[in-house]
């Protein structure tokens, strides 16, 4: 496979075989080498075979192998001739990140660190029936339609939170009947829960401000980062529609995970409606978790102020207006492990458990359909972690960096920084390729995982 170098931070896989468009890769030589280690490029080429694609399939600097579509992949589709594959958005619909800025200083926080982090761990259920509030089916249906707005209407947030959430925390075009009863049943006990795996809540110190913006971030204060998604409800919606689309699929593609329906078909519309329901559930989920954390902060640091910096999705399909051939056009943009990066919009890139996270500002680069990297990107498998690492080894790294961890044995081993790529490499390319620009660096002080 030929990978053509266009510039220091941009590469291209030309159109060959069944590919309908080329693949554009934003990466350094080092990151290209790391992408070659798995099937990232092969998966991107499979995506490039789909009908109705616009311009190119994009790989962000943190791209790595997923299934169907690689993580860090972005694709744009024409609304008339294009298709939607549930496998592109994946199972964790609207998995995303939000950052809450505070005016609590690191010093104030460190005095109460253990108590606060323990309280957060206890208050925010990981989601297996432990402590989660059970909502009614009717309430969940409202959440599917209203997203984070529902939370604000029910005193679980402030109006200005919505202004600082992608899509204002609510995406239109949901028909609740497109969501199965099974999906709703899985969602009932899980609204306001974190989940396990790579989902986390971090307390971070704002270590550097590179470019002062009105985001509420002040050097030396703490911020909270929340990473989670649509939980079992979204997973079930993805599973349901993968099955239905597969049963109705008659095309010819290289990877069964990419079975698709036309965007303007009945099935395509139904999937998009159900997916949006999961998107709204996830926005509301992160809103409720943030509200609970605000309550905890108020208890330990009364009178201190908090401000939502931003909330972004990183597994989503959305109709957006983009500049295509010098004309503004509505297209369907699919981002899998990639975030929107409109001009002036905050972009959030978490590092791994014990490495720095970053807040950036979008540059609105149309070469990537205004998208940016979403994280450090996994480098090693979970089984590699269990074979190679011990809890003691991970604990030592955390101790050395003075980070407190509340989490189980499994996640501690699997999610350590040793399993991830260096986030600084990803940030460097993200900036140099003009996808987004660094605003602030945040250092983890305490971490909660499932």
Partner 1 sequence: MGKMKYKFLEHTADIKFQSEGKTLDKAFTNAGYALLEIITDKEKIKAIKKKKISVKGKDKEQLLLNFLEEFLFLLDSEDFVVGKIEKLKIKENELVAELIGDKASKYDFSNSVKAITYNEMRVEKKGKNFICQVVLDV
Least distance to partner 1, CB of residue 200, Å:
12
Q: Which residues bind partner 1 (CB under 8 A)?
A: 38, 64-68, 71, 90-92, 126-130, 182, 185-186, 188-190, 196-197, 231-232, 235-236, 238-239, 242-243, 246-247, 256-257, 378, 380-384, 408-411, 414, 450
> Which is catalytic among the residues 322, 374, 380, 386?
374
Least distance to partner 1, CB of residue 281, Å:
13
Rounded Cα gap, residues 180 and 414, in angstroms: 32
Residue whose tokens read 């109709």: 319
- CB closer to partner 1 out of 66 and 96: 66
- CB closer to partner 1 out of 219 and 384: 384
- CB closer to partner 1 out of 20 and 380: 380
Helix (H) or strand (E) run with residue 75 in it: strand 69-78
Helix (H) or strand (E) run with residue 226 in it: strand 221-228
Contact predicate 45/61, CB 8 Å: no
HEC per residue, 97-144: EEEEEEEEEHHHHHHCHHHHHHHHHHHCCCCCCCCCCCCCHHHHHHHH
- CB closer to partner 1 out of 236 and 306: 236
Residues in contact with 172: Cβ distance below 8 Å, sequence separation at least 6, in sequence order: 276
Q: Report the SS3 class of residue 165.
A: strand
- CB closer to partner 1 out of 136 and 383: 383
Least distance to partner 1, CB of residue 44, Å:
15
* Token code pair at residue 271: 């999937």
Instruction: Judge whether 314 counts as a catalytic residue.
Output: no
Rounded Cα gap, residues 404 and 446, in angstroms: 5
Rounded Cα gap, residues 196 and 397, in angstroms: 21
Least distance to partner 1, CB of residue 346, Å:
27
Helix (H) or strand (E) run with residue 275 in it: helix 266-300
- CB closer to partner 1 out of 65 and 176: 65
Contact predicate 339/348, CB 8 Å: yes
Q: How many CA atoms lie within 13 A of 275 on its CB side?
A: 29
Least distance to partner 1, CB of residue 40, Å:
10
- CB closer to partner 1 out of 235 and 294: 235
Least distance to partner 1, CB of residue 304, Å:
30
Residues in contact with 56: Cβ distance below 8 Å, sequence separation at least 6, in sequence order: 12, 21, 22, 23, 24, 48
* Token code pair at residue 89: 């958005």
Contact predicate 186/311, CB 8 Å: no
Least distance to partner 1, CB of residue 411, Å:
7
Which residues of 302-354 form beta strands (DSSP E)?
A: 306-313, 315-324, 327-336, 339-340, 346-349
Rounded Cα gap, residues 399 and 280, in angstroms: 38
76: DSSP letter: E
Least distance to partner 1, CB of residue 449, Å:
9
Helix (H) or strand (E) run with residue 262 in it: strand 261-262
Helix (H) or strand (E) run with residue 299 in it: helix 266-300
- CB closer to partner 1 out of 221 and 236: 236
Q: Which of the residues are catalytic?
A: 374
């Amino acid at each position: 496979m030929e990978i053509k170098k266009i510039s220091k931070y941009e590469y291209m896989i030309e159109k060959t075989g069944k590919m309908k468009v080329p693949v554009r890769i934003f990466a350094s030589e080092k990151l290209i080498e790391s992408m070659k280690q798995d099937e990232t490029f092969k998966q991107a080429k499979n995506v490039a075979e789909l009908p109705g694609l616009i311009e190119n399939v994009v790989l962000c600097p943190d791209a790595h192998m997923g299934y169907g579509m690689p993580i860090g992949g972005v694709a744009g589709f024409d609304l008339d001739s294009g298709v939607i594959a549930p496998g592109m958005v994946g199972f964790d619909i609207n998995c995303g990140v939000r950052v809450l800025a505070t005016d609590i200083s690191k010093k104030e926080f460190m005095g109460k660190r253990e108590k606060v982090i323990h309280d957060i761990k206890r208050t925010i259920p990981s989601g297996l029936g432990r402590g989660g509030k059970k909502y009614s089916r009717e309430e969940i249906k409202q959440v599917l339609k209203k997203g984070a707005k529902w939370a604000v209407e029910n005193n679980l947030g402030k109006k200005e939170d919505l202004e600082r959430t992608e899509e204002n925390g609510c995406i239109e075009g949901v028909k609740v009947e497109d969501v199965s009863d099974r999906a709703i049943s899985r969602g009932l006990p899980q609204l306001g829960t974190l989940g396990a795996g790579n989902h986390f809540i971090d307390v971070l110190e704002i270590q550097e401000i590179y470019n002062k913006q009105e985001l509420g971030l002040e050097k030396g204060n703490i911020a909270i980062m929340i990473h989670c998604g649509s939980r079992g409800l979204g997973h079930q919606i993805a599973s349901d529609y993968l099955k239905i689309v597969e049963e109705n699929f008659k095309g010819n593609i290289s990877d069964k995970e990419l079975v698709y329906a036309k965007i303007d078909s009945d099935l395509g519309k139904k999937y998009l409606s159900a997916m949006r329901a999961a998107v709204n559930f996830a926005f509301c989920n992160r809103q409720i978790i943030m509200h609970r954390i605000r309550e905890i902060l108020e208890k330990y640091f009364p009178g201190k102020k908090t401000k939502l910096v931003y909330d972004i999705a990183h597994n989503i399909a959305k109709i957006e207006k983009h500049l295509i051939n010098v004309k503004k056009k509505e297209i369907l943009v699919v981002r899998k492990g990639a975030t929107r990066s409109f001009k002036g919009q905050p972009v959030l890139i978490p590092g791994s458990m014990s490495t720095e996270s970053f807040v950036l500002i979008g540059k609105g680069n149309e070469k990537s359909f205004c998208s940016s990297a979403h994280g450090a990107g996994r480098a090693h498998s979970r089984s590699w972690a269990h074979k190679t690492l011990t809890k003691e080894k991970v604990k030592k790294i955390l101790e050395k960096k003075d980070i407190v961890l509340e989490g189980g044995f499994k996640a501690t081993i699997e999610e350590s920084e040793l399993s991830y790529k260096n986030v600084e490499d990803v940030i460097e390319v993200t900036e140099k390729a003009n996808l987004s620009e660094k605003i602030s660096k945040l250092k983890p002080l305490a971490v909660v995982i499932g």
